[in-house]
Structure 1
Amino acid sequence: MEQFSMLGYVTVVSMMVLTPGPNIAIILQSVVTRSARSGFGNLFGIVGGFYFHALCSTVGLTLLLKQSPTMYAVVKTLGACYLVYLGINSLVQAARTRRMPAAQPVNTAANTRPTHGAVLEGFITNVLNPKVGLFYLAIFPQFIGPQDSVPLRSLLLVTIHALFALGWYSILILSFERYRSRLGGASMVMLARVVIGVVLVGLGLRVLLS
């Protein structure tokens, strides 16, 4: 029964990780427009967000969020606005790149952003997504038995989720890095930033309207 229960949980979290969403968009933006290092920074921030949501779920804070439509609306709006902000920032960087010579390598402040900034970016993106918190609130009780230690069991469950995210997103980061190395001139980077910016703005609007 325990093996079946864990298999069900692994299936659920793997589907959640594989489903495209804000996390993948943020990582794609960082790798294509900056570096794989920034992408891994985002990834570590995203994983930190998983543990934050798990902690909130364990102590019952997410339950308050679920029971308060106003709080849920506030968090969702903040998250949506943050995604839109990142998208607009990408479009602004695209406009700046357009003024660069076509053969000139792109080396802006955005490309050399410290890794800790990317970590914070990934963390905020995940924390301001109330759907992740509600996911933990809905999923955790299904896989925590009455005789289990809630903190230890929660730690195990969120760690499994984190390991899946680390594995899959690492593959994506390395794949995106290969693509970025082939971009070459500023014109291709500009195009990538425009596409990513539009995707981020669209994701933000979808979160806001959902």
Structure 2
Amino acid sequence: MLESFVVLITTTALLLGSPGPAPLALAATGAAFGIKKGTPFLLGILLGLSVAIVGATIGLTALFSQFPNFRAVCQFAGGAYILYIAYKIASAPSITEQGAKSVPGFKDGFILNLLNPKAYAAFLAIFSQFSLPFPDTYVGNIVTGITCLAVATVVDALWLMLGGLLRPIFSEPKQARIIRIIFAGLMVVAVIYALVRFA
């Protein structure tokens, strides 16, 4: 059982910690607005991830196989929303009190991961291959889901903190704009990659 936990934690950390739309958005938010102001965005992302976990456990694969067009709609809707978040980050004003309204919030984070095709693909892979081997499958899925959420919380918080560490380096408005545009550009690349890969 211990080996199964180690494999599950490692796989989840690699799948969710790789530079996809949500981690890049967290890093960009931390860099542009700081860790404290980015925390509601992080909490929204984690709630959206919880929905993805539940969706994977109740058989999203079956739904997509019955209605293949629904999968494409979800992918493109998710991609469009992530591009909106990228635009919001890239076009944010300098870090001032007036700019605080531009900080991605809880709702933005929730919708971002709710519509993030990478999250669903990751959990479908995890639950199909790395689900914990409990005698009761239901219990195994619950413990697997809780473990995945715990790992995601640590990984996503680290991305937000990484962005927060970069913040003082880019304190000048011109440098701040450059880092926001770089992160937004990386988010766009991640969306294109996800749409091509999971299409």
Superposed pair shares fold, TM > 0.5: yes
How do residues 95-134 of structure 1 correspond to structure 2 at under 5 angstroms? Answer: 97=93, 106-107=95-96, 109-112=98-101, 118-134=105-121
Listed as ranges, the gaps of 5+ residues in structure 2 are none
Asked if 2 retains the 8 angstrom alpha-carbon contact of 1:57 and 1:63, the reply is no
* TM-score w.r.t. length of structure 1: 0.79
**Amino acid in the other structure paired with 2:136:** D
Shift of the alpha carbon at 1:9? 1.5
* TM-score w.r.t. length of structure 2: 0.83
Listed as ranges, the gaps of 5+ residues in structure 1 are 98-104
Asked if 2 retains the 8 angstrom alpha-carbon contact of 1:84 and 1:205, the reply is no
How do residues 24-63 of structure 1 correspond to structure 2 at under 5 angstroms? Answer: 24-63=23-62
User: CA–CA distance in 2 between the matches of 1:179 and 1:5?
Assistant: 36
Tell me how many residue pairs correspond in the alignment: 196
**Amino acid in the other structure paired with 2:69:** T
181, 190, 201: which one aligns with 2:168: 181
User: CA–CA distance in 2 between the matches of 1:190 and 1:113?
Assistant: 14
Q: Moved runs in structure 1, 4+ residues, more than 6 A?
A: none
User: CA–CA distance in 2 between the matches of 1:182 and 1:55?
Assistant: 39
Which residue in 2 is equivalent to 1:194?
Answer: 181
**Aligned-residue identity in percent:** 21
How do residues 69-148 of structure 1 correspond to structure 2 at under 5 angstroms? Answer: 69-93=68-92, 97=93, 106-107=95-96, 109-112=98-101, 118-142=105-129, 143=131, 145=133, 147-148=135-136
**Amino acid in the other structure paired with 1:128:** L
Instruction: Specify the structure having the higher radius of gyration (Cα).
Output: 1
User: CA–CA distance in 1 between the matches of 2:98 and 2:80?
Assistant: 23
124, 135, 149: which one aligns with 1:162: 149
Which residue in 2 is equivalent to 1:3?
Answer: 2
**Is 2:54 the partner of 1:65?**
no
User: CA–CA distance in 2 between the matches of 1:168 and 1:145?
Assistant: 24
Shift of the alpha carbon at 1:141? 4.3
- After TM superposition, the structure 1 stretch with the greater mean CA deviation from structure 2, 180-189 or 55-64, is 55-64
